[in-house]
Amino acid sequence: MTAQELTKIAKEIRKDIIRMINKAGSGHPAGSLGVAEILVALYYAILNHDPKEPDWYERDRFILSNGHVCPAHYAVLSSAGYFDRKELLTLRKLGSKLQGHPLRGNLLGIETTSGPLGEGLGQAVGMALASRMDGKHFRIYCLTSDGEHDCGSHWEAVLLAAKYKLANLTLFVDRNNIQIDGKTENVLPLDSLFDKYMAFNWNVKEVDGHDIVAIVNAVKEAKGVYDKPTVIICKTTPGKGVSFMEDRFEWHGKAPNDEEARLALEELK
């Protein structure tokens, strides 16, 4: 697919996110809208996977650590062929496979249960070690939020990945600068994440998180690194594509009402 086609898919994903969270009456629109290009790049241009055989052992694994942005993940999984798009509007409903945080075993294509922040990279490190121990060549990709870098467990996993030189592991950081109750640099300053990961002996890339070509190229470069894990710091805009949501931490966990959803979808046309 061309970059233009993938960008168009990302816009459709954003529309689905708005519809899903509005219908549910709860959810996390800002982060979900912000990671659309990262997830489209993964499922359409990076991951070695097969929606018709989701448990294929040789598949690449994708771990969503910041599980609250699962509306974006669900929408991309549906778009890629893992399940019927009609199910998207069951988000957060009683008995739905699409819960407010992903549950392994509930839905095809979900590798881990996520909710508590700071845990995803540790799971990804375990999978990357297992792949090496089994003599396999599948790669592990993990997406984390910037806010969960407040968690000590995340940095323990960063240390372990570097110790074992897990070159089959690529971490994406959604650097959108917000978390649940404010700007990250006001809650607990994180910068410079680039310098921190360099100090922890990771291969570090920094890209525009809304540039699919840049994301794909960064992953290609990561595959040429054989002695350390790679982190791709993706600079994103929370609420991307909806002017009244962009860069506003208030939309971290607030669902749009019917009128707000209508306005958002109008902007995303």
- Is a pLDDT exceeding 90 seen at residue 159? yes
Q: Can you tell me the mean pLDDT for 236-242?
A: 98
Q: What is the pLDDT, as a whole number, of residue 135?
A: 96
Q: Is the pLDDT of residue 10 over 90?
A: yes
Residue 21 confidence (pLDDT) above 90? yes
Neighbours of 26 (CB within 10 A): 12
For 55, what's the count of Cα atoms within 13 Å in the CB-facing half-sphere? Answer: 4
Asked whether residue 236 carries a pLDDT value surpassing 90, the answer given is yes
Average pLDDT over residues 163-175: 98
Residue 173 has pLDDT above 90, yes or no: yes
Provide, rounded to the nearest whole percent, the portion of the chain with pLDDT above 90.
97
pLDDT confidence tier of residue 1, bands split at 50, 70 and 90: confident
Query: Measured between alpha carbons, how far is 269 from 71 in angstroms, rounded to an integer?
Result: 19
- pLDDT for the residue 133: 96
Whether the bond between 145 and the residue before it is cis, its omega within 30 degrees of 0, is: no
Q: How far apart are CA 66 and CA 128, in angstroms?
A: 19
Q: Are 59 and 202 in contact (CB under 8 A)?
A: no
pTM of the model: 0.97
Going by pLDDT thresholds of 50, 70 and 90, the confidence category of residue 215 is very high
Identify the pLDDT of residue 34: 98
Residue 115, pLDDT score:
82
Cβ atoms 245, 14 nearer than 8 A? no
Place of tokens 């219908």: 23
pLDDT of 265 strictly over 90: yes
| Contacts (Cβ under 8 Å, ≥6 apart) of 110 | 73, 77, 102, 103, 104
pLDDT at 204: 98
pLDDT digits (tens, 9 = 90+) for 40-81: 999 999 999 999 999 999 999 999 999 999 999 999 999 999
Domains of the chain plus CATH, in order, are: 3-267 (3.40.50.970)
Closest CA to 216 of 234, 202, 194, 240: 234
Q: Give the confidence band of 154 by pLDDT, cuts at 50, 70, 90.
A: very high
Backbone φ/ψ region at 84: left (φ over 0), alpha (ψ -120 to 50), beta: beta
pLDDT band at residue 226 using 50, 70 and 90 as cut-offs: very high
pLDDT band of 241, cuts 50, 70, 90: very high
pLDDT band at 121 (very low <50, low <70, confident <90, very high): very high
